[in-house]
Structures are given as structure tokens and as C-alpha cells.
Structure 1
């Protein structure tokens, strides 16, 4: 079947209130647009602004730009009002182009006007959930900060915001479906009383053109190399990873590389542990794939996560995942990874020790992980997302 024929099946309005193709969720949105296009969807992407230009098949519109080059400064209105402006403009476009759209894909805090317009037009809406239920996220992060006596600075993600939470709760209630990228995200919504029928499972991915496995031979004679990549913050559980590493035998002749910026005050909270000779604080890096190809293990002992893109990238680079069950990572314990219960320091320590001592197991897990990489690409994620749209339409 030709791509043009397939495209007639699902015509999607992809609404994203931020800068398509930038970092973090902006990268996720960019890859979803590309994946949908390659899977055969007819995509209209209405975005706040765009750092990258999508393929010609994708119809791109910008809601927060002045002419071709200028963007409305975020400081002019603030992120919240900018998202609302994007949402309002997208809803008006939808009202005049409803016959061109089968399904609408939205993002949090920039969805409500569009959801309501789509509902009047009889068009189903799926809303991306790049993270857990926001109420749960606020609760568990606040709890963790209390456990380690840390105050999260104002303005940082997951600092409680009553206005944002109220807005998102309304979006959850009024949207037709919520897109959950991991079982963990899905469970946080079920625990909050959401119907399973409202939740749809999809996945994220990694860019195989930029990321590939290294030659991480499981050599018993060399020290184990573990890497952490991401914002250094209590939510990511770096304090658990650090304690487990220092308590393990691997710290005697191995290396633990920490890549990322620290939330103010958190580095000081970790104290002298960071001065251990096996710890390397590398800060923000632009060569993460290469550093991962030099590493045996990727650690992410999060207490709350959506489905961290870095876990896909780590697997794509040949690292064995050493993650918590709250990381949203696509993996299975003792099949292609080692998974510990969130906050279980003893289990994480024992996993590091086991892989340090049993390099045959390390090699087996790595081989199994690498053998499944074709299921973890953004191309595969785009195909799955298109299947999820069809599920929503069928319901």
C-alpha cells in the first residue's frame, strides 16, 4: 500500500504549544511528528514555534510567531499564558478546518480550548502524558524532598503549582483519552480513579542515526563503568544511585560518571560523597552517546518519571539499564536489565555488586537488550502511535 493511500486513513492535528525540535519534550514532539509522517499519517502540526523544519508532507503552522522569523517573547506573557494563546488559536483553526481532521493530539497546559472545540465537532482528542499524574508527581517529589531535608527552589519542575494542577485536572477530565508512555504512568492514573478505557499505551524511542551500541565487552579484569545522565535533582534519585555505588564493591576500581546540571542546593546536600575518587562530575555534556558507549551500566533510580528518553538512548548505546520501577523504562528485570523498587537502596546496591562480580550475566543482559533495539526506535514509536490513534477512533 502506498504512503499516500495509507495517509487517507488518519488525518491528525498535532498541537504542541512549545518549540518543536528543541530539547526534552520539544524533542519528543518533533520525533512523534516525524514518526507519524513516516508511518503514513496525514499530519497537520500546529506548534508554538519550530526550531526544525519537518518533511514537506507535514503541514506546519506556528501560533506564537510574528512573521517568518520572530517569535513572541515568552517573557512577554509567561509560559502559561503563551500555552493558552496557542491553545486558543489552535481551537479556532480547528473550527474552520474540522472536515480535514480525524483526530487531535494535544499536550498538557495547552489543550483545553482545543478539547472543547473538538468535542463540539465530534472529533476525538488524545492528550500526551509525558509524565505521571501531576498530582501524584507533586506529592511524591514533595515527600522525597522531605525525606532528605531539601527544599526545591521556586520555578523548578515538580515544585507544587496549584494553578497548573487545576488546569491539568480539567484537561484530564474533558479530554477523551490520555496517552501513557509507560506502565508506571498508567498506574498513577488508575490509582487516582481513572477508567482503564480512558488510558492508551504508546511509547517513545531513540534516534538510531545518532545513537548506536559501542564495544562494551564484559571484561572481568576491568573496573565497572556506570553513568548517570539528566538533571541532578531529588526526583531522579541520584542520591540513591550515589549511595548504592559507594556501598558496592564496584566503587573500589570502577568509575561512576555523573552528567548533568545540579538543581541549586542539591550538590551541597550530597556533600563529600561526590569527592570519592571513583566519582566523575562531568556537568552538561554534548557527547553523551560516546560517553554511554564507554559505559557498562546506565543508572536511573527515579522516584517518579514518565518514560525517560535517556533510558531508550542508553539501551541504544549498548548500556545495561540499572533502573527503578518508577523510571518508566521499557525493559524487564533479569531479561535485559536490572530493575529495583523505587527507593530500595539495598536492592540497587546488590544489583551493582552482582553485575560487577558476574560479567557473564552483564554480557547476557547486554546482548538481549541490543537484540531488541529495533522495537525502541522513534520509527517504531511512530507506527505504534498511529495504531493508538486507530484504537481511539475505533472506540
Structure 2
């Protein structure tokens, strides 16, 4: 078997690069692969963040040096156009590539062209199976008493579910970022052998522990969209039940669903709670904190948990966050919706400073295996595993999987 790295066509139907989320994840993927010596050709709609010299990039939504926003031609048309552009490359130059890495909404044409050209098609899966995400968001809304927002990506949409299922079925391999996400696919009939684990990461140059400050009060933080699906109502409930409010702070950062803010106005004004809204630097915020409260109902692999661990902040997370936390070792995990358990965990780390230091040290130590450099190595391994699977189990007929 050849030891040469696979030749990768990386297709991202969004602007590449940004402070967080999938834009940053995709940027880190291609930069990390390039640093490992992988020949990568990137097709993205535009580039927001400088890339290393020598990395081949085509911007599909840039005309005469100016970025064309998706909304100018409609979101669906923008995704379809990007998908068509990448498929054309594969039809003309398929022999130049071994793997095409797709992201949601630009998969179907690309995967058909990949199959015709003998190129392995993989799809990034940044969140739980769509049906699972819809069901869990509905459960969260019912628990919280706040409806899923009309424009939420988690609002049940049969047409979108059918589209995403078609994408899942079209590719050779689905790249899943956590055991939780893998389970949601297996439960909905996806053969386990089509699911290959990857991991996401965090930026070690931005996230690091803050200086010790004995004068700072105990501080918990929630970072994310203020809505039921993220479990903010559970975090508020646990904070209030814990009784820490008069001696500690609970910082809430991120945009908030207006209906959620109105419904939980009393809890958001409780002692110790500080609603920060959008913050310019999550890294700076983390350095003020001791614990992350993130009792989400559904995630993929919550990047904020990795960033917390890299900052020496203890993650108190639900089992649905996909966070790489070993309960009681480098963080604390509770089952989705178990506010009693979350309250106990929060109170314990508040009451036991030595235990808090132990968990924080372990979280930071674990984070050294969760960097974007490590994620790139895992992604390269995933490509190799996919190529082996395709060669031995699939051949030219993906239906054998």
C-alpha cells in the first residue's frame, strides 16, 4: 500500500475562516492538513482568514475580487452552485484526487461525480443526526416552556430532514466528531462501518488558563445561544438551586432568543447572574471562570467545551454535548435534563477548592490532546480508514455497505 498522503479536494460551501463554528473548523482542517504535507485543494465560497502560502484555493462566490453573499442569489442557489462547481472539477480532473471532503448542503452533485470518478466521498457531520436533533430540540422546548424559534436550525422540517438523509446516503463515509453523534446515526439505521470518528479542536494560541487570583469570586459561565436546546434554563435552575449566587457569579455570553429571555427574565436577574450578551473574546472571558455550565440537549462535539478545557475551566456538561470528558476525572457529566445531578456537581466544585483544582488541572492536561493539530492528524487517519473501507468493502458499489 502506498504511504503517500491522499490527495484531498476540500469542499466548503461557506466563507472559510472565522472566530468560531464550522467556518473556523474548516479553516483549521485545511491548514492542519497542509502542515502535514497533504496535497489539499480547497473550494470555498470565499476566504475570510489568511491561508498559508502554497495552499490551492478556489473561491466560488467571488467575482472580480468581491465576495458575493449567499443571500444575493438565495441560500439554496448558492449551495447548489458551489456543489455544481466542485462536481465539475471531479468530472474533469477526478484522477487528481483520492478524497473529496464535503460539508452539508453541497453534497449530492459532488458525491455523484466522485463515485463516477472513483474518488472517496466523505461528509462532515458537525451535529447529531437531523432527526435526533429535531426530536431533542422539541423535548427541550417542552421542558423549558419556550417554543423552538421559527428560524432555528433545530426546528422540525420534514423537507430538510429528507435532504440531509439523502446526503447521508450519498457519500461513502460520514465523519462523526463524537460517540454521541455516532450513536444517533446507528439508532437511525446507519451501518456502523460507514461512521468514522474524527475530532474537532481548539486554538492553543488563544485559549489558556488565566493567572491565579484569590480575590476573584467563584465564577461559572455559559457560552452559546440562549435557548432551550442549549439547556440554559437548566443551567439557570441549577445555579439558583445551588445557592451560590450571593457568593459567586454566573456569566452568560451569547445572543439570546427573545422569547426565552422574556420567559426567564426573573432567573436571568437572579443574584450572581450577569448577562453579557455577545463578547468580543470568549478566550478572555474563560480566563475569568472556574466552571463551564453547558447542559445542552443536542450537539455534535461542543467546541466551547474544548475551549474551556484549554483554559483550565472545568466542563460541567450533559452527555449530549459530545464533549471528550471523562466524568469525575477531567470534568463532570450529567444525563440530559438531570438538573438535580447538575446542581450537586456545581455545589461540589464550589464547596471543595482542592477538588476544583484537581479537575481543572486534569481538564487542561486532557486539552493537549484536543488541539487543532491533533484534529488534523485524526482527520488524515479517517481519510485513510475510509479509503481502506472503500477498497475492501465497497469497490465501485457503495450499496454493499
Same fold (TM over 0.5): yes
Partner residue in 2 for 1:290 = 284
Q: Displacement of 1:148 after TM fit?
A: 2.5
Matches within 5 A, 1:1-395: 8-22=4-18, 23-67=20-64, 69-216=65-212, 223-395=217-389
Q: TM-score, normalised by structure 1?
A: 0.95
Contact 1:63–1:90 (CA<8 Å) still a contact in 2?
no
1:307 and 1:194 map into 2 onto residues whose CA distance is: 19
State which drifts further: 151-160 or 20-29: 151-160
1:211 and 1:81 map into 2 onto residues whose CA distance is: 37
1:281 and 1:73 map into 2 onto residues whose CA distance is: 32
Q: Displacement of 1:332 after TM fit?
A: 0.6
For these two proteins, the number of residue pairs brought into alignment is 387
What is the DSSP-based 3-state SS (H/G/I as helix, E as strand, rest coil) of the residue aligned with 2:354? Answer: helix
Contact 2:95–2:117 (CA<8 Å) still a contact in 1?
no
Deviations 1:241-291 (A, max 9, x none): 010011003223110000111012110111211111200011100122122
Q: Displacement of 1:120 after TM fit?
A: 1.0
Structure 2: tracts of 5 or more residues without a match: 390-401
Q: Displacement of 1:222 after TM fit?
A: 6.3
Q: Displacement of 1:162 after TM fit?
A: 2.6
Q: Displacement of 1:216 after TM fit?
A: 4.6
Q: TM-score, normalised by structure 2?
A: 0.93
Contact 1:301–1:324 (CA<8 Å) still a contact in 2?
yes
2:270 and 2:366 map into 1 onto residues whose CA distance is: 36
What is the DSSP-based 3-state SS (H/G/I as helix, E as strand, rest coil) of the residue aligned with 2:235? Answer: helix
1:389 and 1:293 map into 2 onto residues whose CA distance is: 36
Q: Displacement of 1:73 after TM fit?
A: 3.1
- Root-mean-square deviation (CA, aligned residues, Å) is 1.6
Partner residue in 1 for 2:392 = none
1:51 and 1:73 map into 2 onto residues whose CA distance is: 13
Q: Displacement of 1:18 after TM fit?
A: 0.5
Q: Displacement of 1:62 after TM fit?
A: 1.2
Contact 1:249–1:356 (CA<8 Å) still a contact in 2?
no
Contact 1:250–1:352 (CA<8 Å) still a contact in 2?
no
Structure 1: tracts of 5 or more residues without a match: none
Contact 1:15–1:105 (CA<8 Å) still a contact in 2?
yes
What is the DSSP-based 3-state SS (H/G/I as helix, E as strand, rest coil) of the residue aligned with 1:18? Answer: strand
What is the DSSP-based 3-state SS (H/G/I as helix, E as strand, rest coil) of the residue aligned with 1:206? Answer: coil
Mark the CA change 1:148 to 1:371 in structure 2 (over 3 Å): closer, same or farther: closer
Contact 2:94–2:118 (CA<8 Å) still a contact in 1?
no
Q: Displacement of 1:370 after TM fit?
A: 1.4
What is the DSSP-based 3-state SS (H/G/I as helix, E as strand, rest coil) of the residue aligned with 2:196? Answer: strand
Q: Displacement of 1:167 after TM fit?
A: 1.1
Contact 1:324–1:340 (CA<8 Å) still a contact in 2?
yes
Contact 1:13–1:46 (CA<8 Å) still a contact in 2?
yes
